[in-house]
Structure 1
């Protein structure tokens, strides 16, 4: 059975996952990349080092974000939201980064792994923390209770 997720189910899925896919578009190119994130108060919070993703987000802050929970081919949930990218500064940046760390660190296998994987330790102070203010969203599911 295919169906639509209600608002509560959409929020629950966004709150319970930690990896989603961010889609951005700039100068005729579309780019989709997996990111670690947290959901809070109708927004997605994430971080990034400088690079293609940030260049594109700054050029066109209108984005989409997708997250899913897949049990198998016939049992899954998926949410897509659309929103606007915004860089965070000061206390707001610090609080968002702490939220990301607290959600992701318990999921790592070793204490040396961190939410800023792939980022040179010398560059960690230059990490950009951002929010995607959600404007709209939709969710779908497939479930077959007999499977």
Structure 2
């Protein structure tokens, strides 16, 4: 059975997934990259170092974001969102956003005492970094849609 996800199902998928794909376009180049993220019902929060993704969003803040949950070829859910990139420059808002991202990642981390989701940026998971330029951003979601396929096991 193929169908459309309702808004509750769309929001649940966005709240519970760890990795999404961010689509950007600038200077004639389309790019899709995986990102760790957190979703709060209005914004998608993520971070990056400077590169193609950040440069593209600074030039053209209109983005697309996709997340899916795939059990197998016949049992899956997919959400596509459109929105606007907003770079977070306020230190308090940056810390708040990074904590949201870290909280969404922590359940998937190793049990090792020194494991944290900083991706090598800092030594302590609650810090946002001082030596590497980390760019924290949010996407104001303006439109969402979702589809699914479900086929009961026989």
User: Structure 1: where are the runs of 5+ without partners?
Assistant: none
Distance 1:32 1:111, change over 3 A: farther
Residues 59-85 of structure 1 show CA distances to partners (whole Å, capped at 9, x for unaligned) of 111000000000100000000000000
- Cα drift, residue 114 of structure 1: 3.3
Structure 1 residues 33 and 118 mapped into 2: Cα distance closer, same or farther (>3 Å)? farther
1:106 is matched with 107
Match of 2:119 in 1: 117
* Alignment equivalent of 2:145, drawn from 138, 142, 146: 138
Give distance in 1, aligned partners of 2:120 and 2:50.
12
TM-score, normalising length: structure 1? 0.91
Query: Alpha carbon RMSD of aligned pairs, Å?
Result: 1.7
1:103 deviates by 1.7
TM-score by length of 2: 0.87
List 4+ stretches of structure 1 deviating above 2 A.
Answer: 110-116, 118-121, 123-126
Asked whether the equivalents of residues 36 and 115 of structure 1 are also in contact (C-alpha less than 8 Å), the reply is: no
State the Cα deviation string for residues 1-39 of structure 1 (Å, max 9, x = none). 110000000000000101000000001100000000000
Instruction: Count residues with an aligned counterpart.
Output: 146
Matching of residues 1-147 of structure 1 within 5 Å: 1-88=1-88, 89-109=90-110, 110-117=112-119, 119=121, 124-125=129-130, 126-147=133-154
Secondary structure class of the residue paired with 1:23: strand
In 2, distance between residues paired with 1:33 and 1:144?
A: 30
Alignment gaps of 5+ in structure 2: none
1:96-122 Cα shifts (integer Å, max 9, x gaps): 10111122123112444433326487x
Taking the aligned partners of 2:129 and 2:115, their CA distance within structure 1 comes to 14
Higher helix share: 1
8 Å Cα contact 2:11-2:41 kept in structure 1: no
